[in-house]
Structure 1
Amino acid sequence: MKASTKQQFSRSQFKNLSKTLTKGSSAKSSLLSFLSSVK
């Protein structure tokens, strides 16, 4: 995976994560899926 591609991927992930954080209820599961996708 190219660094630029990974950075772009991370940005979209953070956007999704911030959306989920505003909801609050599923923030933990979203964070876990984000962390597992980064590995």
Structure 2
Amino acid sequence: MKFVQERLGHGSMQITSDVYAHVSNKIAARSIDKFDEYMKEIE
């Protein structure tokens, strides 16, 4: 997150987090869904 903050020129990491945290949550949710699908296939 610090790297992104510096690259975008945000004054604080809080700004970066407020703007981009939803992206991380979507990626995490997709990863969990894919893992669940995989586990169903191998049962």
TM-score, normalising length: structure 2: 0.47
Kindly tell me the number of residue pairs found equivalent between the two proteins: 25
- Identity across the alignment (%): 8
RMSD, aligned CA: 1.8
Higher relative contact order, structure no. (Cα contacts within 8 Å, ≥ 6 residues apart): 1
TM-score, normalising length: structure 1: 0.51
Structure 1's unaligned 5+ residue stretches are 26-39
- Deviating above 3 A after TM superposition, structure 1's stretches of 4 or more consecutive aligned residues are none
**Larger Rg over CA atoms:** 2
